[in-house]
């Protein structure tokens, strides 16, 4: 009898109770279904204020996990329950007791959801993206390389709609098959775009794209502060992009706009930006880019240490939840 219970008992040793209270202050949550929030933010006369964007992200996260409830105005209690189930994506939460399928799902999609549910950083990225002024004279082709849950592809859709493009062409690339399929299903139902299972570090991935300039491109596959760039595929993705698309990127809005990296002591710095194909500008004598250490990003014209992205928006998350959820980088 005791032996039969050992797996369950072992799981309980890893589980923790979620933080107390709602994940976001009730007065900050903007009511509405996910499609309604998308429609509102697609209008240029709707201010993209942080609370509205945070509400969009929470509803999007819920629809990603529970697509059968896409059309519902999900309550704060249910949004908090979702965050509570996810709060320790490896160890698990007491709210997952007996829900083995959901536990497996959250584990398999945990890294992508961790990126999404760091509300301050995700809202900061969306705010920077929506502040851009894209060239839409040739239509709107938007790409997200390393799409994850697809939230930045949704951001590109909102950017296009706010600039008068009714039907943008949006494509994301994600190497994890289950994550790509989930994001593709949700974004397809929303009428936003598609996510393909593909390796964004390979130039041939971009061979089948529609003709014309790329209006917007997101690539946030970056390591956390102080880690070497090779820990994530950011340099390799950019190398493939500029080989494959070259002149089509001349007027592209990039997110991030630039990345700063340095040697370990911070004496030699590189600025990775569109004008140098995000390969740095130190010349032929520089050490390999992949050995540089991640430092800063440029968002909406401002240079920000990567660990401080979203710092001014921490108020979006209730204080007891911040340590558990704010782990994007």
pLDDT of res. 89: 53
CA separation for the pair 118, 226 (Å, rounded): 20
CA separation for the pair 283, 272 (Å, rounded): 12
pLDDT of res. 5: 63
Give domain 132-299's CATH number out of 3.40.50.300, 3.40.50.150, 2.40.30.30, 3.90.1150.10: 3.40.50.150
- Give how far the C-alpha of residue 55 lies from the chain's centroid of Cα atoms, to the nearest Å: 15
Each residue of 93-112: pLDDT tens digit?
Answer: 666 666 677 777 776 677 78
pLDDT of res. 1: 44
CB 171 within 8 A of CB 196: yes
- % the chain with pLDDT above 70: 88
Each residue of 242-273: pLDDT tens digit?
Answer: 999 999 999 999 999 999 999 999 889 999 99
pLDDT of res. 290: 78
- Give how far the C-alpha of residue 4 lies from the chain's centroid of Cα atoms, to the nearest Å: 41
Domain boundaries along the sequence of the chain: 2-119+316-325, 132-299
Mean predicted confidence (pLDDT) in 143-149? 96
Task: Tell whether the model's pLDDT for residue 8 goes beyond 50.
Answer: yes
Task: Tell whether the model's pLDDT for residue 6 goes beyond 80.
Answer: no
Least Cα distance to 143 among 259, 298, 248 occurs for: 248
Return the DSSP state at 36: H
Task: Tell whether the model's pLDDT for residue 325 goes beyond 90.
Answer: no
CA separation for the pair 290, 236 (Å, rounded): 9
Q: Phi-psi category of 302—alpha, beta or left, where left has phi over 0 and alpha has psi -120 to 50?
A: beta
pLDDT of res. 83: 87
- Residue 52's φ and ψ, nearest 5 degrees, are -65, -45
CA separation for the pair 86, 81 (Å, rounded): 9
């Amino acid at each position: 009898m005791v032996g039969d219970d050992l797996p369950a008992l072992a799981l309980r040793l890893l589980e923790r109770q979620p933080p107390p209270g709602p994940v976001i202050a009730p007065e900050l949550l903007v009511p509405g279904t996910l499609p309604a929030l998308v429609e509102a933010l697609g209008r240029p006369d709707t201010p993209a204020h942080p609370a509205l964007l945070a509400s969009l992200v929470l509803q999007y996260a819920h629809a990603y996990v529970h697509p059968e409830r896409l059309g519902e105005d999900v309550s704060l209690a249910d949004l908090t329950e979702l965050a509570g189930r996810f709060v320790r994506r490896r160890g698990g939460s007491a709210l997952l007791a007996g829900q083995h399928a959901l536990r497996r799902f959250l584990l398999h999609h945990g890294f992508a959801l961790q990126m999404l549910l760091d509300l301050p950083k995700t809202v900061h990225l969306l705010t920077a993206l929506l502040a851009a002024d894209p060239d839409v004279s040739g239509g709107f082709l938007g790409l997200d390389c390393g799409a994850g849950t697809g939230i930045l592809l949704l951001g590109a859709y909102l950017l296009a709609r706010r600039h008068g493009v009714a039907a943008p062409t949006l494509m994301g690339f994600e190497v994890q098959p289950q994550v790509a399929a989930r994001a593709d299903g949700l974004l397809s139902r929303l009428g936003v775009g598609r996510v393909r299972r593909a390796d964004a570090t390979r130039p041939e991935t971009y061979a089948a794209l529609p003709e014309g300039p790329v209006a917007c491109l997101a690539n946030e596959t970056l390591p956390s502060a102080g880690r070497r760039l090779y820990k994530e595929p950011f340099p390799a993705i950019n190398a493939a992009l500029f080989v494959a698309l070259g002149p089509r990127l001349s007027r592209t809005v990039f997110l991030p706009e630039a990345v700063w990296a340095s040697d370990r002591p911070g004496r030699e710095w590189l600025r990775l930006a569109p004008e140098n194909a995000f390969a740095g500008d130190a010349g032929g004598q520089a050490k390999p880019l992949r050995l540089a250490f991640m430092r800063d990003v440029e968002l909406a014209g401002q240079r920000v240490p990567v660990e401080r992205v979203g710092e001014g928006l921490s108020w979006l998350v209730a204080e007891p939840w911040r340590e558990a959820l704010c782990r994007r980088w």
